[in-house]
Homo-oligomer: A and B are copies of this chain.
Amino acid sequence: MPEHGGNLDVALQRFGGHAQDWIDLSTGINRQPYPVGELPPTCWNELPSPSAIQSLHRAAQQAYGTEAPILATNGAQAAIQWLPHLASRGRVRILSPTYNEYAAVFLAAGWEVTESSDLAALADADIAVLTNPNNPDGKRHEPSQLLALLPRVGRLVVDESFADATPALSLAPKAVLPGLLILRSFGKFFGLAGLRLGFILGNEADIAALAVMAGPWPVSGAAIEIGSRALLDREWAEATSARLIRDGLRLDDEVARRGWTLVGGTPLFRLYETGDAKLAQERLARAQIWSRVFSYQKGWLRLGLPGDETEWVRLSAALTR
């Protein structure tokens, strides 16, 4: 299976300690999560009802500024797992480097996978995949650029897992266009990755096909309840976006003292050129701070943003040690 951030197991095996003592910055999951609050027992005891799922869909459409057909999935990952089954096997082209599950999932399903760093090279793909803003390097594509590519591919999948704080980048408002599919992650921006909630938006036929594949109860009662509340809380979202953008710049400042340079990032994570990322990772790990390195780029270290002030102080100390 592909390597992922968010796997503290590896850190514990290599560096010891207890999970709760570590600060896990190996992901882009917001460490100041949306408050879960009280949950009604029906969340647990009953099958999710079609009307509850519809309400969740409406909340997500509102949050993402779109009226396009939408499907809630067991994390954005679940939508990725079904993508290769939307069409007969063909050629998928992936704008790389990016989230490594795309190549793995399409390969496992028997597709011909090409990875390219050039947007124009996605043309003629049966399915073209890109992430906007991109993970891990934060690269951004203007909606107009992507709309120009759309007629040149069978389907264009735009993964907007890290787009919550930069809504101007989002193609969700246009997701109804033929061939366009937009993925959204709930858990990263809202800091609730364990809930497993994501969405896919697109035209009616594709979303209907995906809904058949995902089955009648694609998400949990808790995901519906918490997701609906959180997505409608625009005040929280705006305050969080502002804080994340501020904190990203603060992190850039902190690491600059170590001589690391910013490669790019999103409001949820930053990617730095460190010269030797394994060494940098080990240094932070000795202070029980976990980070993400990349086998294909030896200098790159990706850091999520610390949560509360205690975490900032610990990171700062680890960086200046």
Residues of A22-56 at the interface with B, using a CB-CB cut-off of 8 Å, are 24, 27, 29, 31, 33, 36, 41-51
Contact of A44 among B36, B75, B216 (CB under 8 A): B36
Residue interface mask A287-304, B partner, CB < 8 A = 1: 000000000000000000
**Segment at the interface with B among A60-68, A159-167, A220-228:** A220-228
Chain B residue nearest to A224 in the complex (CB): B194
Contact of A6 among B46, B75, B191 (CB under 8 A): B46
**Segment at the interface with B among A78-86, A199-207, A256-264, A277-285:** A78-86
Contact A44:B195 (CB < 8 A) given known A9-B51, A215-B80, A223-B220: yes
How many copies the complex holds: the figure is: 2
Q: How far is the CB of A133 from chain B (nearest CB, A)?
A: 20
Contact A8:B81 (CB < 8 A) given known A195-B44, A216-B1: no
A193 touches B29 (CB 8 A): no
B6 touches A214 (CB 8 A): no
Cα-based distance from A20 to B36 in the complex (angstroms): 22
Q: How far is the CB of A165 from chain B (nearest CB, A)?
A: 18
Q: How far is the CB of A52 from chain B (nearest CB, A)?
A: 9
Cα-based distance from A195 to B221 in the complex (angstroms): 6
Q: How far is the CB of A90 from chain B (nearest CB, A)?
A: 16
A239 at the interface (CB under 8 A from B): no
Residues of A263-282 at the interface with B, using a CB-CB cut-off of 8 Å, are none
A192 at the interface (CB under 8 A from B): yes
A312 at the interface (CB under 8 A from B): no
A48 touches B194 (CB 8 A): yes
**Beyond the given A6-B49, A33-B41, A33-B45, could you list 8 further A-B residue pairs with CB under 8 A, ordered by the A residue number?**
A4-B47, A6-B46, A20-B42, A45-B194, A75-B215, A77-B216, A101-B216, A108-B213
Please, could you name 14 A-B residue pairs with CB atoms under 8 Å apart, sorted by A? A4-B47, A7-B47, A7-B49, A19-B42, A29-B45, A44-B226, A45-B193, A75-B215, A78-B215, A85-B85, A108-B213, A196-B219, A196-B220, A220-B222
